[in-house]
Structure 1
Amino acid sequence: MPSAQASPRIPIWLPINRREAGRVAAEMPLRVDGHPMTTLDISASGIAFESDKAYALGERVSVVVEYMLDGANFPLRCEAEVMRVEPNGTGYSVGARLILEPGQDGRVLRPET
């Protein structure tokens, strides 16, 4: 019987002080709790995105970033906690902290399975 292959992992290492993680302005497609959205910026410790929904502060959301690497699509999945919600005229600008689960050894984002 063939053995199950482990899904590839793309580690995203967090800096010692997560607040010092540099933000990168990026418009990338993503899904938040299954709904398509667009990123505003992303860092090793957080993500900002546009939404038509006002999330509650502290709410945990499932995030899948549609990440391209060398021409291949690698959907990256993580959990995040909503830290900021601001009206922006057409909806909301949402800032969320990526959640580091115990045992992840600094890796937050992982390919979708």
Structure 2
Amino acid sequence: LSMDDDYETEENNLLLEMIHASLIAYIVADFFGQLLFYSIETIVHRLHVQGVRTIVDNTDTARWKQVQIYTKIWDVYLLKFSLLYGGMLLAHGVIKKFFIDHRSSSPSPMTTSS
């Protein structure tokens, strides 16, 4: 290898390291951004849907037909948390039913003491 080939190899390695670092930074930033702002985005969307449904329901029949009424931001957050918690309880029950119960019902090796 000549001096120019070594320089190109080092330059390519440096370029790949920079691309790799920026890609990792982008993925981590996107993950934490989604983690932080997902619940706020859900709250905003639910409040917008409530407003649109209110307008449509009132113009169609002039009656209030909405099932869920959010008066504060915390109402949406608490409903979201309760649904998430209920889903976790359901998953826990399914896992317990199918995996833990079957493991405990399998025959254990018999040991005899002499």
Q: TM-score, normalised by structure 1?
A: 0.20
Structure number with the higher helix fraction is 2
- Higher Rg: 2
Higher relative contact order (CA 8 A, sep 6+): 1
Q: TM-score, normalised by structure 2?
A: 0.20
Structure number with the higher strand fraction is 1
